[in-house]
A and B are shown apart, each in its own frame.
Chain A
Amino acid sequence: MEFIAQHPVLVASLVKIVILLVILMTILAYLSWFERKIIAHIQSRWGPYYVGAHGLLQPLADGIKFLFKEDLTPPASDKLLYILAPFLALTLAMTTLALIPFGPATVSIFGHETHLVVANVDIGLLFLFAITSLGVYGVALAGWSSNSKYSLLGGLRSSAQMISYEVSLTLSVVGVLLLAGTFNFNELVTSQQGYYFHFIPRWRIGPQFVGFLCYFTAAIAETNRAPFDLPEGEQELVGGFHTEYSSFKFAMFFMAEYANMVTVSCLATILFLGGWLSPFPERWTFMQYLPVVSLLALAVYLAYDTAVNMRGLARFQLAVVTVLAGGLGLLCLLPAVMPVIQGPFWFTFKMGLLLFFYVWTRSTLPRLRYDQLMSFGWKLLLPVSLMNLAVTALWIVYPLLVKRG
């Protein structure tokens, strides 16, 4: 116990890391369920329905399947790189989430007051870009080390795509940086407080709408998602850089892709959508009950669904989920939890909205051919990002120029 007393920062950081990892793994698993359900409903079918009520145990079944598959290694492959590549991809994708603040409140862990962020770095945004630019190696090394034509081509194409769109990604963010004047995530969010006309929130998506569009498009291309997923589309290159991977390493690539999606959505939330700020004015203090109300409404709907539509084991499972949702809702009524839950609730809501856009785009738009993809990135997106940067810079400097004469 003296260790905890002597090193409060270290212990608090460890606790936060463990909590973040647990929440992140759950989100990654259920993101696949989320995606399959939404794609299915857009395509007028149901998606996973039988494995657990409403398919909620489907990620568990997928995980067990991946764990029990045969773990092949291609005989002529480079063993060290073959094993290293998925670990590298997953580790880098998960590390970026340590920099992101989820709320303004301070929580006390073992008596030490900390913010809801694992590492509050002063140049957080720059480090996040540094880590994402290292993410290219996971893909490139996976393609090379599998020692197969499809993998090499897919790996080369995929990594070329990633580095091309990384330039536009970084440039579309610089407009926000010019307006905010800081790299620190906390200050980037707090500089978006306040309201125009007392009810429109002062989020950066208003002044930087073009920047947001460029950023989101570059982000979809950077994470190798549809419509930019030619390098890993099944009809094109058999599987791209993860053709020769099986069982758990393949699952790691999947998780790395979802983790990249989550990271990019978190970043977009912080930079453009106001992070953990609520869209409703501060005077409406009754809005602090919104998390409670939404969770209880979810519990009521699930209870209705259990009573009316389900039979047998699914009924029992859905009843458990109903009780969980209701319990969480009532938990948020506690005075200790209520102010803390506001920030993460709005953050998760906005992040979920962006992830929904991701999945919506995937199921709606057709795939771009590789040369179309590269020409789009270099000939359209990069000039638009540069123009956005130039116009923002002019808009900031113009009053100073006019004042000087």
Chain B
Amino acid sequence: MSLLFVLFFVFASIAVIGAILLIVAREPIHSALSLIMVMVALAALYLLLGAPFIAAVQIIVYAGAIMVLFVFVIMLLNAGVEERTNWSKIAKFAGLPIGVFLLFELAHWLARSAIGKSIANGSEATNAAVSTRALSEMLFRKYLFPFEATSILILIAILGALVLAKRDE
């Protein structure tokens, strides 16, 4: 077992355990913490896939800003233990197996698909890391218009959040 395989399985299992904890946790703050665990594990997987800049951006933006926002909202709203509602029994007994079946179906066909098989031998994929310079050249040349549009989108989001959070005085 080479080192890459071992690292992949360690981080993949951390991600899956985090996702399962998100479902199973009784308090929202524990779900938030498990989601942070998933995101950090995914950042490590991006490193293994040779994208260090994206890994750093994922931790800075996703785990370090968006999830902080989630944790703030949970603390401000004092979200406690989830209450149980009365659902129909059918939903509980048939819903969960169908959901798990969907999961395995997706995984099976992605693994057996032509795309999955053609790149599974790994001969085309080298393990060189992508340099930030190459990524930024692509971002500012080929995708310049989406970049500018995204900045306007962020401005709109700031305005929207301000308007929603403003109290009527």
Interfacial residues, chain A to chain B (CB-CB below 8 A): 78, 80-81, 121-123, 126-127, 129-131, 133-134, 136-137, 140-141, 143-144, 152, 155-156, 159-160, 163, 183
Q: Which residues of B, 24-69, contact A by the 8 Å Cβ criterion?
A: 27, 29-30, 33, 36, 52-53, 56, 59-60, 63-65, 68
Q: Are A137 and B53 in contact (CB under 8 A)?
A: no
Q: How far is the CA of A183 from the CA of B60 in the complex (A)?
A: 15
Q: Are A163 and B68 in contact (CB under 8 A)?
A: yes
Q: Are A123 and B72 in contact (CB under 8 A)?
A: no
Contacts of B71 in A (CB 8 A): 137, 140-141, 144
Contacts of A160 in B (CB 8 A): 72
Q: Are B52 and A122 in contact (CB under 8 A)?
A: yes
Q: Are A123 and B29 in contact (CB under 8 A)?
A: no
Contacts of B29 in A (CB 8 A): 78, 81, 144
Q: Which 6 A-B pairs have the closest CB atoms?
A: A133-B64, A130-B59, A126-B56, A130-B60, A130-B56, A133-B60
B27, B68, B71 pick with most chain A CB within 10 angstroms: B68
Q: How far is the CA of A78 from the CA of B63 in the complex (A)?
A: 22
CB A56 to nearest CB in B, in angstroms, measures 39
Q: How far is the CA of A156 from the CA of B76 in the complex (A)?
A: 9
A123-B52, A126-B60 given; name 7 further pairs at CB < 8 Å: A78-B29, A131-B59, A133-B64, A136-B64, A140-B72, A141-B33, A163-B68
Q: Are B75 and A152 in contact (CB under 8 A)?
A: yes
Query: Which chain A residue lies CB-closest to B131?
Result: A122
Q: List 17 A-B contacts (CB under 8 A).
A: A122-B129, A123-B56, A123-B132, A126-B60, A127-B56, A129-B56, A130-B56, A130-B64, A131-B59, A134-B63, A136-B64, A137-B36, A140-B75, A141-B33, A141-B71, A155-B75, A159-B68
Chain B interface helix/strand/loop/mixed: helix
Q: How far is the CA of A126 from the CA of B60 in the complex (A)?
A: 9
Contacts of B30 in A (CB 8 A): 80
Q: Are A144 and B64 in contact (CB under 8 A)?
A: no
CB A179 to nearest CB in B, in angstroms, measures 16
B36, B71, B76 pick with most chain A CB within 10 angstroms: B71
B36, B56, B63 pick with most chain A CB within 10 angstroms: B56
Q: How far is the CA of A81 from the CA of B53 in the complex (A)?
A: 30
Q: How far is the CA of A50 from the CA of B64 in the complex (A)?
A: 44
CB B48 to nearest CB in A, in angstroms, measures 15
Query: Which chain A residue lies CB-closest to B59?
Result: A130
Query: Which chain B residue lies CB-closest to A125?
Result: B56
Contacts of A140 in B (CB 8 A): 68, 71-72, 75
Picked from B27, B53, B64, B132, the residue with its CB within 8 Å of the CB of A134 is: B64
Q: Are B60 and A129 in contact (CB under 8 A)?
A: yes
Contacts of B72 in A (CB 8 A): 140, 156, 159-160
Picked from B59, B64, B76, B132, the residue with its CB within 8 Å of the CB of A183 is: B132
Q: Are B53 and A123 in contact (CB under 8 A)?
A: yes
Q: How far is the CA of A122 from the CA of B132 in the complex (A)?
A: 10
- Asked whether A156 and B75 contact (CB < 8 A) given A136-B68, A163-B68, the answer is yes
Query: Which chain B residue lies CB-closest to A181?
Result: B133
Q: How far is the CA of A334 from the CA of B68 in the complex (A)?
A: 51
Contacts of B64 in A (CB 8 A): 130, 133-134, 136
Q: How far is the CA of A71 from the CA of B59 in the complex (A)?
A: 34
Query: Which chain B residue lies CB-closest to A183?
Result: B132
Q: Which residues of B, 138-169, contact A by the 8 Å Cβ criterion?
A: none
CB B50 to nearest CB in A, in angstroms, measures 12
Q: Are A133 and B59 in contact (CB under 8 A)?
A: yes
Contacts of A143 in B (CB 8 A): 75
Q: Are B129 and A134 in contact (CB under 8 A)?
A: no
Q: How far is the CA of A81 from the CA of B34 in the complex (A)?
A: 12
CB B169 to nearest CB in A, in angstroms, measures 16
Q: How far is the CA of A134 from the CA of B52 in the complex (A)?
A: 17
Q: How far is the CA of A130 from the CA of B40 in the complex (A)?
A: 11
Contacts of A163 in B (CB 8 A): 65, 68
Q: How far is the CA of A155 from the CA of B76 in the complex (A)?
A: 11
Q: Are A133 and B132 in contact (CB under 8 A)?
A: no
Contacts of A80 in B (CB 8 A): 30
CB B47 to nearest CB in A, in angstroms, measures 10
Q: Are B65 and A144 in contact (CB under 8 A)?
A: no
CB A241 to nearest CB in B, in angstroms, measures 11
Contacts of B53 in A (CB 8 A): 123, 126
Q: How far is the CA of A99 from the CA of B53 in the complex (A)?
A: 16
Q: How far is the CA of A123 from the CA of B27 in the complex (A)?
A: 37
